[in-house]
Amino acid sequence: MVSFMNNQKQQKPTLSGQRFKTRKRDEKERFDPTQFQDCIIQGLTETGTDLEAVAKFLDASGAKLDYRRYAETLFDILVAGGMLAPGGTLADDMMRTDVCVFAAQEDLETMQAFAQVFNKLIRRYKYLEKGFEDEVKKLLLFLKGFSESERNKLAMLTGVLLANGTLNASILNSLYNENLVKEGVSAAFAVKLFKSWINEKDINAVAASLRKVSMDNRLMELFPANKQSVEHFTKYFTEAGLKELSEYVRNQQTIGARKELQKELQEQMSRGDPFKDIILYVKEEMKKNNIPEPVVIGIVWSSVMSTVEWNKKEELVAEQAIKHLKQYSPLLAAFTTQGQSELTLLLKIQEYCYDNIHFMKAFQKIVVLFYKAEVLSEEPILKWYKDAHVAKGKSVFLEQMKKFVEWLKNAEEESESEGEEGD
Which whole-number Å values give the CA distances from 2 to 7, 8, 10, 15, 100, in the listed order? 9, 10, 12, 21, 68
Cβ-based burial of 20 (10 A; exposed 0-12, middle 13-18, buried ≥19)? exposed
CB 78 within 8 A of CB 101: yes
Is the full-model pTM beyond 0.85?
Answer: no
Residues 359-377: pLDDT tens digits? 999 999 999 999 999 999 9
β-pair partners for 84: 90
Mean pLDDT on 21-48: 73
Q: Which domain holds residue 68?
A: 33-209
| 423 pLDDT more than 80 | no
Report the alpha-carbon distance of residue 216 to residue 206 in Å, rounded: 9
Mean pLDDT on 154-182: 96
Could you tell me the pLDDT band of residue 98, with boundaries at 50, 70 and 90? very high
One domain for residues 40 and 160: yes
One domain for residues 313 and 205: no
22 alpha-carbon distance from chain centroid: 48
CB 186 within 8 A of CB 146: no
Q: What percent of the chain has pLDDT over 70?
A: 89
pLDDT averaged over every residue in the chain: 88
Q: How many CB atoms lie within 10 A of CB 298?
A: 19
Q: Is residue 286 part of a domain?
A: no
Could you tell me the pLDDT band of residue 413, with boundaries at 50, 70 and 90? low
Report the alpha-carbon distance of residue 423 to residue 420 in Å, rounded: 5
Q: Which amino acid is at 159?
A: G
Beta-carbon contacts of 351 under 8 Å, excluding residues fewer than 6 positions away, are 390, 392
One domain for residues 204 and 316: no
Q: What is the H or E stretch that residue 409 is in? A: helix 394-422
Q: Under DSSP, is residue 62 helix (H, G, I), strand (E, B) or coil?
A: coil
Domain count, the chain: 2
Residues 259-274: pLDDT tens digits? 899 999 999 999 999 9
Q: Is residue 19 part of a domain?
A: no
Q: Is residue 24 part of a domain?
A: no
pLDDT at 414: 65
- Pick from 154, 180, 209: which residue ends a domain? 209
Report the alpha-carbon distance of residue 328 to residue 305 in Å, rounded: 10
Report the alpha-carbon distance of residue 307 to residue 267 in Å, rounded: 9
- Pick from 209, 240, 257: which residue ends a domain? 209
CATH of the domain at 332: 1.25.40.180
Residues 210-249: pLDDT tens digits? 999 988 889 999 999 999 988 899 999 999 999 999 999 9
Alpha helix stretches (DSSP H) within 31-141? 34-47, 51-61, 71-80, 108-124, 128-141
